[in-house]
Amino acid sequence: MKLTKVLLVFVLLLTLSIFPMTTELRGGPGVNLMENRNPSLNPTVQFSLKSTSFQKDKIALLVGINDYQGEQNDLRYCVNDVLDLKQALIQKYGFSEGDIILLTDGNATYANIISSLDWLKENSNQGSTVVFYFSGHGSRSSSDRDGDGEKIDECIVASDFGFLWDGVLAAKFKEINASRIWLGFDSCYSGGMVDADQDLGLKGVGKLNTMACKANQLSGESSSVENGFFTYL
């Protein structure tokens, strides 16, 4: 019993030495508020996307947000997360830089994320490999915000505080006709994004949904690694 306690203390001290207590949580504004609303169903697109006449073999949308409107909700290392991931996709997995959309800070609005998801759909086919990764604030509601029948909904938060609810995202992912899809979420309450698996049939060989925490948990980032914990690991 004493040995077990010693080992637990050792693991705790080791963890603190690697990840000192400079952690910020990625839980967004309006958590559990009835006032959470979907933005306009017809948002104005602010991000210019290049349309192509052919479909791509490997394509990605990476969204990282440090700078939210105002100052009190700002994060520090979400942009690092997606920049690191972009380099990994190019250097290790054969993605072309021109086939990766990178939305950060002011460009990562609700409208631009929706438009970019449509771009993924239009530029991929059954043989494509598609990556979507989000690093930023997550939030949750106290009621069914997207009409999917769930009592509580989770979302990712755009830089303009647009809430992209799990059901809305799941419907967008369903439109992507690719045999290989990786969805990644480094945000609080990201376990709620399991809708993409359960409701819309993304389970199967080559289809993967990874989340930093459970639907009722928080994710964090640290200055010791200058990333979110989930992305770093």
Find the catalytic residue in 78, 155, 188, 213.
Answer: 188
Find the catalytic residue in 78, 137, 155, 213.
Answer: 137
**Catalytic annotation present for 155:** no
Q: How far is the C-alpha of 101 from the C-alpha of 63, rounded, in Å?
A: 8
Q: How many CA atoms lie within 13 A of 207 on its CB side?
A: 18
* Spatial contact of 113 and 164, defined as CB atoms under 8 Å apart: yes
**Catalytic annotation present for 213:** no
Q: How far is the C-alpha of 150 from the C-alpha of 3, rounded, in Å?
A: 45
* Spatial contact of 67 and 105, defined as CB atoms under 8 Å apart: yes
* Spatial contact of 78 and 156, defined as CB atoms under 8 Å apart: no
What SS3 class is residue 7? helix
* Spatial contact of 122 and 136, defined as CB atoms under 8 Å apart: no
- Secondary element (H or E) of residue 135: strand 129-135
* Spatial contact of 181 and 196, defined as CB atoms under 8 Å apart: no
Burial 57-79 (b: 16+ CB within 10 A, else e): ebbbbbbbbbbbeeeebebebbb
Catalytic residue list: 137, 188
